[in-house]
Chains A and B, each alone.
Chain A
Amino acid sequence: ETGVTQTPRHLVMGMTNKKSLKCEQHLGHNAMYWYKQSAKKPLELMFVYNFKEQTENNSVPSRFSPECPNSSHLFLHLHTLQPEDSALYLCASSRGTDRASYNSPLHFGNGTRLTVT
C-alpha cells in the first residue's frame, strides 16, 4: 500500500470509448500529478494540481481531461484516444504550497495500465 490508490489497475478501451482513471491519496498532500510512462521513454509529466488548482499542462492533447475536485482526489477523463496513448498512467502526490512542491519527493500509485485498441 503506497498511500496513493489508483483504479482501475488495467483498462482496455476502444478509440471511441469514454473512460476515467481515478486516483486518491491518503497522505495529506497538497499537490497531485498525472504521469505517462511508455516503454523506453522517461516519465512524462502531464498535469499538476496544487491545492486543487491546475498549475501545469504540458501540451497534453485535449482527449485527456483532468479533474481535481479536492486535494485528495484526481481524475483523468479519456475520450477518443489513439493506440499510441497505450501506456502506464501513474498518479503521484507530494507536499507543497507553491513551486516548491517540485522539490518534495513524489509518492506514486501503482498506475493504470491502459491499452487502446
Chain B
Amino acid sequence: EDKVVQSPLSLVVHEGDTVTLNCSYEVTNFRSLLWYKQEKKAPTFLFMLTSSGIEKKSGRLSSILDKKELFSILNITATQTGDSAVYLCAVSALDKIIFGKGTRLHILP
C-alpha cells in the first residue's frame, strides 16, 4: 500500500534554532515530492522535488530528495515565530497524490 510518513509529528523549538523535518515514502510510479506549509487554513506550496541530490532553496528553507532511500528533508535555519505551522509532505504518482499527516512545528519566542 502506498504511504507517506512524516516525522516528527510535532516539534517545539526556540527562535533561532535550526530544524529538520523528515518525509519518507513508499509509492509506486513516483513522479515528484512536494512540501506545503499550512498556517491556519490554506496550505501553501513550498517546493517540488523530482531529482535526487539537487537542493532547492528559498530563503531560510531548503529541501532535498533521496530517491534511492525514498525520503526527503525540509530544513529551516534561524527559525522565526512566523515559521510556526504544519508542514505537509505529498508524493505525486502517476495517478494520485498522497499526503503525509504533517509535522506541527511551534517556534517559541
A: residues with CB less than 8 A from B are 2, 4, 40-43, 45, 88, 90, 99, 102-103, 105-111
Interface string of B65-109 (1 = CB under 8 A from A): 000000000000000000000001010111111111110000000
A43 to B41, CA, bound (A): 13
B31 surroundings in chain A (CB, below 8 A) = 102-103
Would you call B34 and A105 a contact (CB within 8 A)? yes
B residues touching A (Cβ–Cβ < 8 Å)? 4, 31-32, 34, 36, 40-45, 48, 88, 90, 92-102
Instruction: Give the most central of A40, A42, A110, A111: most B CB within 10 Å.
Output: A42
The reply to whether A108 and B101 contact each other, CB–CB distance below 8 Å, is no
Chain B hits for A88, CB < 8 A: 41
Q: Decide: A102 and B45 in contact? CB cutoff 8 A.
A: no
How many A-B residue pairs have C-beta atoms within 8 angstroms? Tell me.
Answer: 53
Q: Which residues of the partner chain A approach B43 to less than 8 Å between Cβ atoms? A: 43, 90, 106, 108
Please pick, from A40, A42, A45, A90, the residue contacting B4 in the complex, using a CB distance under 8 A: A42
Chain B residues whose C-beta falls within 8 Å of the C-beta of A105 in the assembled complex: 34, 45, 48
Q: In whole angstroms, how far apart are the Cα atoms of A99 and B36 in the complex?
A: 21
A42 adjacent to B98 (CB under 8 Å): yes
* Residues from chain A with Cβ under 8 Å of B42 in the complex: 2, 4, 90, 108-111
8 interchain pairs (CB within 8 A)?
A: A42-B4, A43-B88, A45-B96, A99-B95, A102-B96, A106-B45, A109-B41, A110-B42
